[in-house]
């Protein structure tokens, strides 16, 4: 069975992330969407909120997709899930430079784990969680850029 992991902070999940998940799920028997922490960034939503939003957004999708929170090193978690593939989404060349460096580093420590890159659809190439949060923070509409549950949660979060 081919198993892959797709890690991210998903703070919040966007339709660009959903696009990558949908396409990656067609390539593997099992896809674990891993909600993690980035020690260099403070998150807007708790890990539990991010997992909940992802699960809600993906409830109509393939049963081969699971959403989990993870802590620690990605390579350790990938091995725990018996995955030999890490999926990373790319929007632009700037993403590639960062992701390429991480993939090379991971390969140095786990030669049996490959990283594959999936380019998001052009419709979502400009989307980032940061941009979405900024728009929502100032009362702008994010409809069509994020799943409905995320739109709702952002409105609740920034209404306060």
Q: Hey, is 113 helix, strand or coil?
A: coil
Range name among 92-101, 125-134, 138-147 with the lowest pLDDT average: 92-101
CB 69 within 8 A of CB 80: no
Residues carrying an active site annotation: 17, 41, 91, 129
How sure is the predictor about 160, in pLDDT bands with cuts at 50, 70 and 90? low
What residues have CB less than 8 Å from 38, skipping those under 6 apart?
9
Which residues are 120's β-sheet partners?
Answer: none
- pLDDT number for residue 37: 92
Q: Which two tokens stand for residue 36?
A: 């993690």
The mean pLDDT value for 91-99 works out to 85
Instruction: Note the pLDDT of residue 41.
Output: 85
* Six-digit token string for 128: 């980032």
Which domain CATH number covers 115?
3.40.50.620
Question: Is residue 38's pLDDT more than 90?
Answer: no
pLDDT of residue 159: 85
Count of domains observed in the chain: 1
Three-class DSSP category at 112: coil
49-76 mean pLDDT: 93
Domain residues for 69? 3-159
Q: Is the pLDDT confidence value at 87 over 80?
A: yes
User: Looking at the whole model, is its pTM more than 0.75?
Assistant: yes
């Amino acid at each position: 069975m081919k198993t892959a992991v797709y890690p991210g902070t998903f703070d919040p999940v966007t339709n660009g992330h959903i696009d990558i998940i949908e396409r990656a799920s067609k390539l593997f028997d099992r896809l674990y969407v891993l909600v993690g922490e980035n020690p260099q960034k403070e998150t807007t939503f708790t890990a539990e909120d991010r997992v909940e939003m992802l699960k809600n957004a993906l409830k109509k999708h393939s049963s081969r997709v699971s959403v989990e929170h993870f802590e620690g090193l990605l390579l350790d978690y990938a091995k725990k899930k018996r995955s030999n593939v890490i999926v990373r989404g790319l929007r632009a060349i700037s993403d590639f430079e960062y992701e390429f460096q991480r993939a090379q580093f991971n390969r140095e420590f786990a030669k049996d784990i490959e990283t594959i890159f999936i380019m998001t659809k052009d419709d979502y190439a400009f989307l980032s969680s940061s941009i979405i949060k900024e728009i929502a923070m100032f009362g702008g509409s994010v409809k069509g850029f994020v799943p409905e549950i995320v739109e709702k949660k952002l409105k609740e979060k920034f209404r306060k």
